[in-house]
Amino acid sequence: MSEARRYQQLRAHLSYLKLGDAAEALPRILDAARAENLSLTAALERLLEIEVNATEARRLTSRLRFACLPEPWTMADFDFAAQPGVDAKLINDLASLRFLDDAANVLFVGPPGVGKTMLAVALARGAVEAGHRVYFTTAADLAARCHKAALEGRWHTCMRFFAGPKLLVIDELGYLPLPGDGASALFQVINQRYLKSSTILTTNVGIADWATAFGDATVAAAMLDRLLHRATVVGIDGPSYRLRNHQATAETMRKAVAAHVS
Ligand code: ADP
Ligand code: MG
């Protein structure tokens, strides 16, 4: 077989095996192999590395798209100095993602604006980048979706969907009652993930008030039991980051008025 024909065959093999990036890089790698006098092993390794990197990048993009993270936040964006209520050591430990191996949960509890969603998104982002399947939703969305699924006879498919991700983030469990039979849907999702895979939950309802917030003390207790069995609870009781600027503006205005009056 002539060298030219062998080259065409090799490219065809790569394309047939859907190694498109390697097929495209082949002439470049062969030139480099000749110019740098690469061993056969080194040239093959270089060629396949290109395909591996491209596949990795494609998978990361698809995991990120699936995760539905609402913001591009990462841990580096979180300003620990601005939120003295957060234990940086604890958050950094969570960022190691060891809790995923133990199927442990994380609860962020605190008033609005203190960075609960931001920390949940940053952890989720880290998990996506580490190769895990992650899904972000809000408690209200989850309840609405489960309700719709029940009406359309897709309850089991819906439950399987929420059981799937290695990490599920349920944002904004609040004082407002969940739509439909939301509390019980949420309980079932938590229950089927219990001891199997991790859930991060953010809420402005202090754990002591869950019974009243859910309107059903039994469901609340059962849910807390599963959630807290293996969990890190991060209470954030600092100032609202959202209101920081408002507070600064209000302070400046107060001072200006006071100066004017005196
Ligand atoms: P919560 O979910 O507790 O209501 P968020 O996580 O949505 O609060 O944060 C509110 C806003 O303030 C977001 O835009 C977030 O990026 C920002 N923010 C909150 N805490 C911090 C922080 N410590 N460093 C940087 N930005 C922060
Ligand atoms: Mg939030």
Q: What's the gap in Å between 239 CA and the centre of ligand 2? A: 14
Q: What's the gap in Å between 115 CA and the centre of ligand 2? A: 7
In a mutational test of the pocket of ligand 1, which residue from 79, 83, 118 has the highest number of ligand atoms less than 8 Å from its CB?
A: 118
The ligand that comes nearest to the alpha carbon of residue 79 is 1
Cβ neighbours, 10 Å, residue 200: 27
Atom of ligand 1 nearest to the CA of 202: 2
- Domains annotated on the chain, with CATH: 3-64 (no CATH), 75-243 (3.40.50.300)
Q: What are 200-234's pLDDT values in tens digits?
A: 999 999 988 888 877 788 888 999 999 999 999 99
Our measurement of the distance from residue 146's CA atom to the centroid of its chain's CA atoms, rounded to an integer in Å, reads 20
* The overall pTM is greater than 0.85: yes
Question: Which pLDDT does position 260 carry in this prediction?
Answer: 67
Question: Which pLDDT does position 246 carry in this prediction?
Answer: 64
Residue 164 corresponds to which tokens in the numbers above? 């799937």
Burial class (CB in 10 A: 0-12, 13-18, 19+), 4: exposed
Atom of ligand 1 nearest to the CA of 112: 4
Question: Which pLDDT does position 170 carry in this prediction?
Answer: 98
Residue 200's beta-bridge partner residues? Answer: 106, 169
Residue 42 corresponds to which tokens in the numbers above? 């080194």
Q: What is the DSSP letter of 135?
A: E
Residue 232's beta-bridge partner residues? Answer: 106
Which residue's CA is the closest to the ligand 1 atom numbered 9?
Answer: 115
Alpha carbon separation from 149 to 146, 155, 159, 226 (Å, rounded)? 5, 5, 9, 24
Which residue's CA is the closest to the ligand 1 atom numbered 11?
Answer: 242
Identify the helix (H) or strand (E) that includes residue 123: helix 116-129
In a mutational test of the pocket of ligand 1, which residue from 91, 119, 237, 241 has the highest number of ligand atoms less than 8 Å from its CB?
A: 241
Question: Which pLDDT does position 254 carry in this prediction?
Answer: 62
Give the chain's residues under pLDDT 70.
245-257, 260-262
Atom of ligand 1 nearest to the CA of 114: 3
Q: What's the gap in Å between 7 CA and the centre of ligand 1? A: 56
Which residues does a 6 A CB cutoff place in the pocket of ligand 1? 78-79, 82-83, 112-118, 202, 241-242
